[in-house]
A and B are shown apart, each in its own frame.
Chain A
Amino acid sequence: MDPITFFIQILAPALWQGLLITVALVALTAPFGLLLGTGISLGRQYGGRALQAACSGYIFFFKGCPLILLLFMLYFGLPSLGITLPAFTAAVIGFILCNAAYNAEYIRGAISSIKDGQMTAAQALGMTRFQAIESIILPQAMRRAIPGLSNEFIYLIKYSSLAYMITVIELTGAAKIAATKYFMYNESFLAVGIVYLALVTLTTYAVSLLEQRIAIPGMGTKNLI
């Protein structure tokens, strides 16, 4: 088969299917990873001793565990404990757990860069700690965490290819299958590489638009990417 026919009839439709799965993986992981990561960083920063220890333990464990191992445990390990997850679900859960740990670290760094006076002033006005975190600390911390969080989002796009190892046919998997079947390795992997590059470029562009929209003079969110 000549490369052009291969590309049009085989590779492009396969990559399209794979792209849909990759986008679904990322779109389901990112919001929950952000939510869980925010919760963990707040727990670690402002929680009681037990909660702080639990949140630190979470980060310690999931930062230290190779993602592929985590996916294997969720997909191949859990059934022996009586829990059988569909491959796609196992992948999303694994990604959320890992993504949240890194997001928590970025947000924690951003929170600790905020001057104590902000919390003091909020409390002096009669805000509870919760109100101060919600209306003063988080809006500032999230702005400062954007560069880190967006890097993590880009990593997520790329490590979502690990889902292939537990039988989810996403972008990389689709390319690998087509390549093996038609013996068109270079063509397939080059094409899928371009798709990833496009996704990452799109993300970078979207993040810089977001940063411009929410930029605040003196808060140093401009031109960070």
Chain B
Amino acid sequence: MKGEYILRVENLHKNFGDREVLHGISFDVKKGATLVFIGPSGTGKSTLLRCINQLTEPDRGKVFLDDEEITGCGARISGFRQRIGMVFQNFNLFDHLTSVENVEIALLKVRKMKKENARAKAMEELRRVGMADWADHYPAELSGGQAQRVSIARCLAMDPEVILFDEPTSALDPELTREVLEVMKDLARSGMTMLVVSHEIGFARSVATEVIFMEGGRIVEQGPPLEIMNNPKHPRTREFLGRIEHD
């Protein structure tokens, strides 16, 4: 039925050489949901996100955005990517552009917005993540937390329907992690649809609508955060949670 799910992933497979990274992943995402993917490193969580916006091409399986198929869409992929934001572990801000230029560049080049409109929109998004005072600074002059907030603003400026967060706080110390998580919590509460790969269990507990535990390229267990955290059914989930909560 149309419109119920903003994003649908069907039976994704991906191999790198003879290493199987994704082994038939399927899930649906309702509009406004926040899915948090947890699991040991190297289990294909980041690859999964990259397969959704086709930065990595899956070998098999389908991805639908609002019932339109993304997989195998050829040159139309740029159009889909405008609607799916992505936030990276290493921020990937454009090094030669200031914060505000980072946020407005896609508005200018992709959306072909007028300069003054793009600037106004970029400043609005910087304000939303608390970075308006740093508009004219270059990425090298920002702390990791600030850089990640600018990269979230860059993403938001495109008015995405879904945002993929690929370990957004893994490169940050606890203090900076908190400021980024605050921004992400606000986003989740404002109704943004988010897929988050993260080891931040506290974040998962407080804002996730669903937690998905992955291992070996498969979804082992999924469900509401409290159920997964407090009462994991699968022994592997239990073991993993026990390990990170003691860290």
Listed in ascending order, the chain A residues whose CB lies under 8 Å from chain B are 115, 117-118, 120-128, 131, 134-136, 139-140, 143, 216-219
Contact = CB atoms under 8 A, between A and B. Distances in A.
Contacts of A118: 92, 94-95
A136 B110 CA distance: 13
B109 A218 contact: no
Given A124-B53, A125-B158, A219 B140 contact: yes
Contacts of A217: 138, 140-141
Contacts of A123: 55, 78, 81
B154 A125 contact: yes
B88 A219 contact: no
Given A143-B96, A216-B96, A218-B141, A125 B106 contact: yes
Contacts of A125: 81-82, 105-106, 110, 154-155, 158
B174 interface: no
A219 B106 contact: no
Contacts of A219: 95-96, 138, 140
A101 B117 CA distance: 42
Interface residues of B, number: 30
25 contacts: A115-B92, A117-B90, A117-B92, A118-B94, A120-B88, A120-B92, A121-B86, A121-B92, A124-B53, A125-B154, A125-B158, A126-B78, A126-B82, A126-B158, A127-B106, A127-B109, A128-B75, A128-B78, A131-B110, A135-B109, A140-B94, A216-B138, A218-B95, A218-B138, A219-B140
A216 B141 CA distance: 10
Given A120-B55, A216-B140, 4 more contacts: A126-B80, A127-B78, A216-B96, A218-B95
B106 A117 contact: no
A121 B158 CA distance: 13
Interface string B58-83: 00000000000000000100111110
Contacts of A120: 55, 88, 92
B225 interface: no
A184 B129 CA distance: 74
A58 B123 CA distance: 46
Contacts of B88: 117, 120-121
Which 10 pairs, one residue from A and one from B, show the smallest C-beta to C-beta distance? A218-B140, A126-B82, A121-B92, A117-B92, A125-B106, A124-B86, A126-B81, A217-B138, A126-B110, A217-B140
A109 to B, nearest CB: 17
Contacts of B139: 218
Given A117-B88, A127-B106, A139 B96 contact: yes
A135 B110 CA distance: 11
A136 B102 CA distance: 10
B96 A126 contact: no
B140 A135 contact: no
Contacts of B79: 126
Question: Taking each of A134, A135, A139, A140, which has the highest tally of chain B beta carbons within 10 Å of its own beta carbon?
Answer: A135
Contacts of A124: 53, 55, 81, 84-86
B195 to A, nearest CB: 13
Contacts of B155: 125
A122 B105 CA distance: 9
B152 to A, nearest CB: 12
Contacts of B110: 125-127, 131
A135 B75 CA distance: 19
B81 A216 contact: no
Given A125-B158, A131-B109, A140 B138 contact: no
Contacts of B78: 123, 126-128
B141 to A, nearest CB: 5
A140 B95 CA distance: 8
Interface in B126-163: 138-141, 151, 154-155, 158
Contacts of A135: 105, 109
A50 B141 CA distance: 42
